Amino acid sequence: MKKKQKTFKRSIRRDPCCDQIVRGYFGLGDWETVVHVTSTEDFLVYIWARNVETSQGGVQIMTPPSQFRGSGSTGPEDGLVLDVPKQTGRNLGCIGAKRKEVIDITNAFGARVTVFLTVVTCHSAKVNMTWEER
């Protein structure tokens, strides 16, 4: 006697906040001077960078003021410069932003730095990466 196998297919519902991944590739200091990243939902920006120079270089990240700031933090924006050693690449980590906030990414020390930007956000979000050219 043959056994009947029952197969249950789970209906896969797409959660509206499942991850969406959007990538950008830019030559800061060569072609682009700044990249502006924003999304219609909260998001994370992961940054990989390669300093093509034979000298010091890096990436500068500017954000709106953080919700919590030390007493020495003043001004309309928060900024951080992350070094990338000459002629090497480095994972610079990620930074988060609320919906509609803008993260600005530029080169530091005048170096030519190539960046891969990966945005992770809700599936329903609209991600924008705009840039300014030389």
We report the CATH number of the domain holding residue 93 as 2.60.120.340
For residue 16, what are the contacts with CB-CB under 8 A and spacing of at least 6? 122, 123, 124
Task: Report yes or no on 35 lying in a domain.
Answer: yes
**Which has more confidence, 55 or 7?**
55
Confirm if 17 and 122 have CB atoms less than 8 A apart: yes
- Give pTM, 2 decimals: 0.83
**Which has more confidence, 74 or 11?**
74
Task: Report yes or no on 92 lying in a domain.
Answer: yes
| Per-residue model confidence (pLDDT) at position 66 | 87
| Per-residue model confidence (pLDDT) at position 18 | 66
Mean pLDDT of 99-111: 96
| Per-residue model confidence (pLDDT) at position 7 | 44
In whole angstroms, what is the distance from residue 47 CA to residue 84 CA? 12
Residue span of the structural domain in which 28 resides: 19-67+77-133
Confirm if 19 and 120 have CB atoms less than 8 A apart: yes
Task: Report yes or no on 114 lying in a domain.
Answer: yes
- The total of structural domains in the chain comes to 1
In whole angstroms, what is the distance from residue 132 CA to residue 23 CA? 17
Task: Report yes or no on 4 lying in a domain.
Answer: no
